[in-house]
Structure 1
Amino acid sequence: MKKQIGFMLATVLAVFLLASCSKKYEAKKVQLKTQNDSLNYTLGLANGEGIKNYYLQNDSSDAPIKALINALDKAYSSKEVDDQMYQLGYQIGTSLKYQKENGLMGDSTLVFNTKLFKLGLVNGLHGFDGGMTPQQAQEYLQKTMTELQAKKSAQQAPANQPQPAPESQKTDSVQ
């Protein structure tokens, strides 16, 4: 699970790599129509708060968010390793590419939606409280992914499970 959370964090930041530096990123309401939409958005929302609390805790203005996006853009287009933000941006960019190629959170049945992820991330970075909290988003992600994995495991279980012997074949060895 820790690996998934780290992967989610990296994914969230990578979304910023695809964004233009001149754009203003503001929290916005979102409409989620499918489970896939919800998973993409909550992944961004849950990680946005984590990034905000860990990396951007000392400044509530848009300046650190813009700086983060600039660092992500730089990391995405360059191969140099300059500083902590660059390294973080590089890790996230790699993670986003992986999700785009292999499915949301490594599940090929779930399509990674950059737009919804990014919206969730920006809302999480801004502390947007419309809809659900980052904690609720994290809980939703964990619960839904656990359920999906359980369904997948049940479908992959062997069909030839051992059956009990018919009553006519049972013998009692003690007489």
Structure 2
Amino acid sequence: MESTDYTQLDYDKLKKQLSFNFAENKAIKDLQIKPDAFIPVLFSLKFGGDWSFKTSELEAMAVKEKITRYNEVEEEGYTLERVTLFVNPILISTEGKVLRLEKCGTKNERELVERPFRVKLDAEDIILAELNPAAMEIHLERIKGPLTFEGSAAYGVSHEMEHLAGGEHTGKFIWEFKYRVQG
């Protein structure tokens, strides 16, 4: 008996998703990394943003940087997503102070927090994942640390390190700001 609940499009999509999942598993095995350690990379690639994951045996953190490559002559380009995975990260140093608004997934509202402008960290293992939409490819490579991040990536490192440490930054909420209208 044939089911009419699924269209050919649904079936094709499911086949592609399963194939992608098998490729993920193969990549994890090829990298010789614990599958749990790779979860932050998977979440960053699939859902966007920075992610961290902690078990009793490991801490893992993925930090995403976006790099737009644009050809002025052709007037076209793409945004490369560079996700760096740190397995058992070690914060070496921080520099500077930047006030910024953040909203963590666990909170309902944005808060004003202070983050370092620059961070330097190392880890037991570091894997670079580059998602290239022009080539439709995800390149994985083991790299050596320590690495330094500035600006948005540094804020992401700081935020995810807080999660791994079991704490959360608290600051002033957006509704504590005052409007000032000029004119």
TM range (shorter): under 0.3
Rg bigger for which structure? 1
Q: Which has the higher strand share?
A: 2
Q: Which has the higher contact order (CA 8 A, sep 6+)?
A: 1
Considering fraction of residues, name the structure with more helix.
1
| TM-score, normalised relative to structure 2 | 0.25
TM superposition score normalised by structure 1 = 0.26
